Amino acid sequence: MSSYSNICFYGGGAWGQALAITLASLGNKSTLIVSDKFREVDINNHVSKRFPQAKLSPLIKASIDKNQIIKGCDLIFITTESKRVLDTINQIAFLSNKNIHVVITSKGFATSTGETFSEVVESDFPNMNLSILTGPTFADEIANNQPAAAVIANKVIEQANSISKLFHNSNLRLYPSNDPQGVSIAGAVKNIIAIGAGIIEGLKLGDNAKAALITRGISETSELIKKAGGNYNSAFGLAGIGDMSLTCSGPHSRNMAYGMKFVKNNNEPPKELVEGLNAINATIALSEKLDLELPIMTSIKKILNKEANVDEIIKKLLSRPIKNEFN
């Protein structure tokens, strides 16, 4: 049985529900904090509008009374969109001196200048026990009990282990890591590469081009992680190459779909917003601060900003000075 007695999810959307379904399969109760009464009623009646094929377990409850629920939790998963994570952290910050474990599942940067959520929390709330859960996972497959693996990172490896053990023997295997900085960066920048993969797919530039994009994208990711104080090996694990491979190939990838629509619309931005758009500005700002050149990611930004067309970008990338594959 779990060492956590009161588990809650701050965010009752797809990812919160999927993780709650997984924990319920192991006999763990949890409460989803939701923003509207209709969703609260549906979930408490074991109905999921997000996953209509799934009958929610009675172990899963929902509530709109976030303040009351938060006070009783010893494990809180933040499953909101990345742009809402900092607001959520500020709302639960009063718990940081208590024995509360906070897990962020959102992928993205905390600020427009490239700070990660773990950096902001360490600076502003040094007593908060924070883990990062990230990796190649689509929520609908998790909810359907299909097998998957991800990484759970905490500077204190024993804390990461406690979350890994919580999910042990479920369809979701979590590998512990002590590199929240590295896995956070990897989880954010893979969305940029996915937009690039969508552009390649939309223009029918071929599988060779997409393979080159992903491989060199991973190389840039590892360099960025290293420069930013993380473990560059995280780029070659589940948070890096694992998640990037999925996001650059899966039909469920919103960021890849954005890139495809961009070129189909004659380089006009689609109406929907995706995480990669926020990540790209933060990534380039961080690379400039670290004096690090990121040719692939910078090129994707230029295409999206209409600073250059794809043919010009490809020609420029292929004519760059020759260098060894590994420095």
Q: For 51-70, what is each residue's pLDDT tens digit?
A: 998 889 999 999 999 988 98
Each residue's pLDDT tens digit, 31-57: 999 989 999 999 999 999 999 988 899
pLDDT digits (tens, 9 = 90+) for 178-207: 999 999 999 999 999 999 999 999 999 999
Q: Is the pLDDT of residue 250 over 70?
A: no
pLDDT band at 240 (very low <50, low <70, confident <90, very high): very high
* 92-147 pLDDT, tens digit each: 888 766 789 999 999 999 999 999 999 999 999 999 999 999 999 999 999 999 99
Residue 289 DSSP SS3? helix
DSSP designation for 268: P
Its pTM stands at: 0.94
CB atoms within 10 A of CB 213: 23
Instruction: Identify the pLDDT of residue 133.
Output: 98
> Domains of the chain: which residue ranges?
7-178, 182-318
pLDDT number for residue 271: 83
Task: Please identify which of the residues 29, 107, 190, 301 carries the catalytic annotation.
Answer: 190
- In CATH terms, the fold of domain 7-178 is Rossmann fold (3.40.50)
Percentage, residues of the chain above pLDDT 70: 98
With cut-offs at 50, 70 and 90, classify the pLDDT of residue 273.
Answer: confident
Mean pLDDT computed over every residue of the chain: 93
CATH, domain range 182-318: 1.10.1040.10
Q: Is the pLDDT assigned to residue 174 strictly greater than 80?
A: yes
Average pLDDT of the residues in 4-15:
94
**Backbone φ/ψ region at 293: left (φ over 0), alpha (ψ -120 to 50), beta:** beta
Active site residue 306: no
pLDDT > 90? residue 279 = yes
Cα distance between residue 191 and residue 255, in whole Å? 6
Q: In what order do the strands lie in the sheet with 101-104?
A: 60-63, 30-33, 7-10, 75-78, 101-104, 129-134, 148-153, 172-177
Q: How confident is the model at residue 251 (pLDDT cuts 50, 70, 90)?
A: low
